[in-house]
Structure 1
Amino acid sequence: MPTLPQTRFITAAPPAAIAQGVFELWQLEDDGRLHAGLPKPYVELVVSIAGVHWWRSAMEGAEQLYGDAWVTPIQSGPRYARSVGRRHLIGARLEPWAAQALLGPLPPGDGTPPPRLAEVWGTDEAGALVALLRAADSDVARFALFGRWLAEQSALGGDRPDFGALADAARAGALAEALGVHPRTLRRTFARAAGLSPKRWLRLHRLDAVLRRAGSGGAEQSLADLAQELGYADQAHLTRDVGALTGATPAALQKRGGNLPPHLFPLS
């Protein structure tokens, strides 16, 4: 029997028709050991291909069973997960306004267990998606099926403000200026469409950029330069913000190594 890699993580672009609302598709396969899932500016729609998955809001918290498919809202801090048996997941990272349109209002990511997809969408619809993706015979086929399924969801279509293209704005005021609206109008419109404030969304986008740099294995850029590029006041601000959101230092994140997702921090 071939030996499975400890961690295998791959991504794919969504169909062009829904790229404004779906940032990327991904698949993760590993041995199921405990890890911390770090906050991100996306809502995750996740389907289990293999493994029995357990979730907890804190390292010492009670465990909850995930199920076959679930939705992970935008989180306020790290959450913890493990699997019994080989873990193989496929997911879609949805922009928050697209997730609101597709799934409706979601619970806050404040430590409440992620809702099962069957609770959000209904047992039949969720079961059909799980069966569709589990029947695929390759990564490429599974990505293609998932992308096609997402493209068929009319809620992900349509013309919406492309907030995603403006994620490099360092402040909510800059975002409002880029969109040509008053900051109060932006806060009201954004919160209604996305379910969170533009300030929090921008903060999570900056963290996302830090995690992707740290996860790439490239430590050539100094933290001071990275802080300046991403709109932090200084290196100390970057370090404080990353620590508050992830419970880890930038240096620890850079040492993760391996083919890990940017928002996964191994604990064993």
Structure 2
Amino acid sequence: MKSFVFQILASSLVIVASAGSFYQDFDVTWGGGRAKVLDDGRLLTLSLDKASGSGFQSKNQYLFGKVDMQIKLVPGNSAGTVAAYYLSSQGATHDEIDFEFLGNLSGEPYTLHTNVFTQGKGNREMQFKLWFDPAADFHNYSILWNPRHVLFMADGTPIRDFRNLESRGIAFPKSQPMRIYSSLWNADEWATRGGLVKTDWSKAPFTASYRGFKADACAVAGASGGGASACASMAANNRSSGWWNQEVDSTAQARMRWVQKNYMIYNYCSDLKRFPQGLPPECSIA
């Protein structure tokens, strides 16, 4: 019976190495024509005006993997806008891995906001000012998600590592398949300087551009959640699946410490005012 169950789980999962077109990998889900697929599927743009933003989602669900997307953010005065790029499951106890880019006044840096939800619980925000202008050109943003790490990267440089600390009673996203989502929307009630700077609609439409999507991942077919054991078995036999066992080595750790020392502007693990009863448990584990 155990073997039969494993075969069912395995049949619902497949290792993909996708670098296809936006027509092949994504669906535009909202925006009334403000999202456009161009250049024979190699480029996708999202736009925001006063009436609406826009968004898309992946056709596949993924249970572990490495996903990359090259994004060029809204240039100029983008204050009040948010470009979100994230993985998420559904429901009240969903898991989620977030990149959110908070707009800026012309000449000021973007804020990169990151968060991790497990079993419906988030409140794990870290924010950064990037060491490059993310609106001047395309830059690559990656999420490596395996059974031990959720690693956020910008142009290959790790900026944050959410480790599996289930042995300490801290939930980790490992069983809920997630789709990739992105949206461009107005959040001027909170996004720029806590909502002090409002969206200048005379600059609309605001446009963000996407290209170079790549997924080396365990894709879940249909509605089945499959299982991590089935994904592990397939990943072990697939040469494109180095992400399954990838660790954060000493070089990557040093680079991440450099980013966090020089470019991190908010860390929930340092916010004693927000957590007067004590910081979240993962914050005390080195």
More helix by share: 1
TM-score by length of 1: 0.27
Higher RCO structure, 1 or 2 (CA under 8 Å, sep 6+): 2
TM-score, structure 2 as length reference: 0.26
Higher fraction of strand:
2
